[in-house]
Every structure is written in C-alpha cells, then in structure tokens.
Amino acid sequence: MKRRRVAAAALTMLLGIVALNSPARADQTPTCRGPLTPDESAFVAQATANLTSRFAHVRDALAAGYVRYTAPDDTGAISYANDRWTSEPTRPSQLFYDVDGNLLGADFSVPRAISRGRPNLWGINPCRWFEFNGHVHYVARDPKSGKMIYDQWVWNRDFVKSGGSLSDPSAKTLVRLGRVPNASDVVTIFELPSIWDLIVWVKPHQPNQLFW
C-alpha cells in the first residue's frame, strides 16, 4: 500500500505489512508471527496459483483495471489498486509488482463498515489483518517535465472538509487544498476507505521471514 509495497525465486507465500509509502495504520497490534496454519497454507497456495496465472505481469493488472499509485517502496514493490475494496479470494483489491513488472503479491481488503472487528475469513487468523484509516490517493503529472508524482494522499476528513466527495473524488478539491495547481495535473484519484487489509506475498522480500 498503500503501501504497499512490495524477492526470492520460490513461490512461497508470505503475509505481512507494507507501510513505508502508506498513511499510518490505525491498528498495528496484535500481529501474528510464526508458521502458517494448515488453513492458511491452503489459502495462500490457492491464491498463488490464481494470482500467478492471471496477473503474472503488470500488463495483466492494467488490462483488468488496476491503476498504479505508488513509486517503488523500500522492498522494491509498486502498488496498483482496482477501487474495489471488498475482496474475494480470487479478486484482490491491490496487486504489487517489482520494477520489471513481475508480480510480487496482493492486498485483500474488507471495509470496516462491513467488519467492525478484524475479519475472520478464508481460514486466516484474524490477527493477520491490519487496519488502515480512510484517505484519498492521487497521482499527479508535473506540467513541466511530464513526470508522474506518486504516493500522494489526503485524509478523508480533510478532503471532505474542503468540500470534496468521497464517493466521487474530484481533482478540483485537491486544487482547493493547495495540493496541485491545476485539476488537469491529476491523472488518478480515488478513495481508499477505512479497511482491514491482508497482504499476501507471492515472492518473499526477506528470506525466512514468514510474517511481519
């Protein structure tokens, strides 16, 4: 995520948190550490097969409607979101890739409006999930250089206070907030609502680190 972000050759799945390029998590504890349970192993095996068959390269994510919103984070991962925050095992809300466009993993999410407590889904221990507060992400283009500017965001409360709509966020609100000089400079904008987030790694970013 946010985030994101997300390599070894093995297709071992890891669950963890990527936070360098993301707004602060609201609920960072407790966290699970240690090996996967049999149910968790079954979930990540199924997810591995599904994700690698459908989204092996970033072009697959773009074709499916995912949009980039981050630069590479400290793990080398670049995040793409599809603006659908109620995930299914075969439909993650985010995918993340390395700089060469190879799949590293995915985020699965559940809006807090649906699950006030940590989700109990798919055989995953609820303490694997982390909470993120709602915020609006955007990507801008430098009008002089044409360079994309990633990892930009505004808290929901500040966006709404400035007259913005979370259901239909507008670049005009970013102008009012002084974040961009012109609405035409914004190429992507979307709300990431308050969610519970589960990150699944297709390729581990650190050897022998099963969980964050």
H or E segment at 14?
strand 14-16
Mark whether 187 and 100 lie in a shared domain: no
Question: Tens of pLDDT along 51-81?
Answer: 999 999 999 999 999 999 999 998 889 999 9
Buried b (16+ CB within 10 A) or exposed e, 16-25: bbbbbbbbeb
3-state secondary structure 158-182: HHHHCCCCCCCCCHHHHHHCCCCCC
Overall domain count for the chain? 2
Residues in the chain, total: 212
Instruction: Identify whether residues 24 and 103 lie together within a single domain.
Output: yes
Q: Is residue 167 part of a domain?
A: yes
Q: Are residues 44 and 88 in the same domain?
A: yes
Is the domain of 37 the same as that of 123?
A: yes
Residues 64 and 97 in one domain: yes
Q: Do 143 and 113 lie in a common domain? A: no
Give the confidence band of 128 by pLDDT, cuts at 50, 70, 90.
confident
Answer yes or no: is 55 within a domain.
Answer: yes
In a domain, 209, yes or no: no
| Residue 38 in domain | yes
State the average pLDDT over residues 178-192. Answer: 97
Evaluate whether residue 46 is within a structural domain: yes
Q: Which domain holds residue 187?
A: 135-192
Phi-psi region of 203 (alpha: psi -120 to 50; beta: other; left: phi over 0): beta
Asked if 5 and 77 touch (Cβ cutoff 8 Å), the reply is yes
- Specify whether 56 is located in the same domain as 147: no
Residue 9 lies in a domain: no
pTM above threshold 0.75: yes
Q: Please, are residues 141 and 39 in contact by the beta-carbon 8 Å criterion?
A: no
Contact 4, 23 (CB under 8 A): no
One domain, residues 169 and 83: no
Residue 116: predicted pLDDT: 79
Q: Is residue 2 part of a domain?
A: no
